A and B are shown apart, each in its own frame.
Chain A
Amino acid sequence: MTTRKTLTLTTAIALCASGALAQDVTLTIESWRNDDISIWRNQIIPAFEAAHPGIRLDFQPTAPAQYNSALNSKLDAGTAGDIITCRAFDAALQLFERDQLSDLTDLDGMENFSDVAKSAWSTDDGSQTFCVPLASVIHGFIYNAEIFEELDLEVPETEEEFFAVLDAIEEDGGYIPMAMGINDQWEAATMGFANIGVNYWRGEEGRAALIAGESRLTDDEWVAPFEQLARWSPYLGRGFESQSYPDSQNLFTLGRAAIYPAGSWEIAGFREQADFEMGAFPPPVPAGTDGCFISDHTDMGIGLNAASEHQEEGRAFLTWVAGSEASNLFANAIPGFFPLSDAEVTLEDPLAQEFIGWRDQCESTIRPFHQIVSRGTPNLSNESWTASANVMRGTWTPEEAGAHLQDGLSSWYEPHQ
């Protein structure tokens, strides 16, 4: 305990009084990943500190719901930590534009990342990068392999097969076919709409067309995923309208539901909590589609507070993060958050391997509304949460949902006017 207290004390001194008195430099890390405290303290920090004497790390996460607002307040007042975990796209871009994040374009190690990986933390023209890409998350479906075996079900590849499987589970009656609720709304949009939609708008192609104004949200490729979502509702079990996200997780891990529309981030938690075999499959393809797509979303980056007095040490840390040792460490310590660097990474978790394997079979894309099109009011991404949930609740038709989103976008986004 005492060591930690002294540590925080030194941090406090280093932060508040301007001259750093301590010999070791301590970098405080801001993050929303409460979940990873023990991983940082037991694996990542010791690994880094062993290789970099003189630099110490202090991981200080904030509960995710408060992260953005707390961080922004602390940055504005000058009390934020040295290392900042970056949300993807505009939230981090805004910090950079306000000169609150350092420019990392020429950071040693940045060459390990592709332009696509860097796109979430670069200026629109791609000329400057301000966070090291840390992880992406992949969408798909996780299933209870024991239930599949018991009911003699095949893993579905097409949409037709997908609904046949759901029907079969429904018919058996022993399990809820699919665990998802819409009380919190975001599951409907991310694990629903963004997950299965990629095959309709054909990944990056459709996303780019939307940004360019060539494709409208009332077009088939954007309405059809809503139609699919509307078909899910009968399989979700009684009262899914007020089923919350933790409810769904528990429903699946307690073995009461067969399929879980997922993000790869669930892997670690499910490993710990489920005592049955699990498998995963990518979003089933609609009839007549050639190729397949997955949502492989750049989710987490890590940057440097421009006001930090330890720019040099901060950059040393980020260079280490960008290297292959750290990539392997992160990828295996937090399975389901996949590294974005080009470094060779070996994953140990079979479920994580399954997810990352889809990168070879299918084309990757990020979530459709994250870049550029969610910059105005109303916010397209947030609206898509409400719209997806409304469609699943049956209060909006898929066409209404598309029209509503399009109206909102047209009201401020020039290419759509």
Chain B
Amino acid sequence: MSRPRTKRRPIRWHIVVFLAPAVLIYTAIMIIPLFGTLNLSLFTRGEGNTREFVGLANFVTLFTDPRWSGAFWNATWNNLWFFIVHMLVQNPIGIALAAILSSPRLRFAAFYRTAIFIPAILSFVIVGFVWRLILSPLWGVAPNMMDAIGIGDWFSPWLGQESSALTTLALISVWQFVGIPMMLIYAALLSIPDEVLEAAEMDGITGASQFWKIKLPLILPTIGIVSILTFVGNFNAFDLIYVVQGALAGPNYSTDILGSLLFRTFFGFQLQLGDPHMGATVATVMFFIILAGVSLYLFGIQTRMRRYQF
């Protein structure tokens, strides 16, 4: 790793100027309101409209009261599975597509790139509608197609079964967002200078082995970013679940992830009134889970990663 070794000077105002606008807007509109909310986790609603300080009691409830801990761990494990599916399916596909797309002299590359990215720009309402339509046992896009190629018996109402609903949703989400890792990795692959690749070709390293030996190590930092973004995105996800399965994340809470649990708790649903205090408690725990993941990346991986400057 190499960074410029600027000598210590009293105050380098340009650093302040570079940082100030972002830090100010971000602090005022995001950090202060959010920490105001997280702070609610230390309180509970007292008599009348008062707020009562309870310390960490809400966290104790969340982890030890079976009414809360059951739902919480269920959502956590589901979320982990949701993330694993993305890591195993979305990111490899994204890398593979980017690798193919970046091969030189590929025709229609811009068309493919745009087409594959389009699902990512759709709103969740549309994604939910169209996949429910495709997977619906009644209107039959999936069952009819499967019938047509003779595997109609394999069709089952995946979204309605506890065993398959979450994986199905994760795959829909993969379908929607695969363009994002693809874009990032594509950008990274394109910024590998031609000289490097030419030198590799001189040494007889071409094709697949060029990808594994030369390109992949060079884009590792980007893959790191993609992984951490997937992690953060998955542990914050909830819209898709809401649109496709509703706020109760059926069947039998099998698609409940932390985001959906959080929104149901915080804002309430139907007769369940919003509970900002328990909601904030769930949010704080989620925040620490994600913070742990990101810190692991920032301190453990990113600082050790070999980075090449071109």
- Tell whether any CB of A sits under 8 Å from a CB of B in the complex: yes
Contact partner of B271 (CB less than 8 A), chosen from A97, A99, A370, is A370
Complex Cα distance, B25 from A318, in Å, reads 43
Most A CB within 10 A of own CB, among B160, B245, B251: B160
Interface flags for A385-398 (1: CB within 8 Å of B; 0: not) read: 11001100101000
Most A CB within 10 A of own CB, among B132, B143, B242: B132
Residue of A nearest to B71 (CB): A378
A411 CB contacts on chain B under 8 angstroms: 67
A170 CB contacts on chain B under 8 angstroms: none
Chain A to chain B contacts (Cβ below 8 Å), 26 pairs: A65-B242, A69-B267, A72-B274, A90-B273, A99-B49, A183-B159, A183-B160, A183-B245, A183-B250, A185-B251, A238-B137, A239-B137, A239-B143, A239-B155, A240-B157, A241-B159, A242-B159, A243-B136, A243-B138, A244-B132, A385-B250, A386-B252, A393-B161, A393-B251, A411-B67, A412-B67
**B156-A239 in contact (CB<8A):** yes
Instruction: State whether the Cβ of A361 lies closer than 8 Å to any Cβ in chain B.
Output: no
Instruction: State whether the Cβ of B85 lies closer than 8 Å to any Cβ in chain A.
Output: no
Instruction: State whether the Cβ of B253 lies closer than 8 Å to any Cβ in chain A.
Output: yes
Complex Cα distance, B162 from A182, in Å, reads 12
Q: Tell me how far the C-beta of A137 lies from the nearest C-beta in chain B, rounded to whole angstroms.
A: 15
Instruction: State whether the Cβ of B135 lies closer than 8 Å to any Cβ in chain A.
Output: yes
Given contacts A186-B246, A247-B138, contact A381 B270 (CB under 8 A): yes
Interface size class of B (residues with CB under 8 A): 35 or more
Instruction: State whether the Cβ of B158 lies closer than 8 Å to any Cβ in chain A.
Output: yes
Residue of A nearest to B267 (CB): A69
B267 CB contacts on chain A under 8 angstroms: 68-69, 72
Given contacts A185-B246, A382-B248, A408-B67, contact A68 B268 (CB under 8 A): yes
Residue positions of A touching B, CB distance < 8 A: 65, 68-69, 72, 89-91, 94, 97-99, 181-186, 237-244, 247, 251, 369-370, 374, 377-379, 381-382, 385-386, 389-390, 393, 395, 408, 411-412
**A390-B157 in contact (CB<8A):** no
Task: Kindly list 19 other residue pairs between chains A and B, CB separation below 8 angstroms, not including A393-B162, A408-B67.
Answer: A68-B274, A94-B273, A181-B160, A183-B157, A183-B245, A183-B250, A185-B250, A239-B137, A242-B160, A243-B160, A377-B272, A379-B272, A381-B272, A382-B269, A382-B270, A386-B251, A386-B253, A390-B251, A412-B67
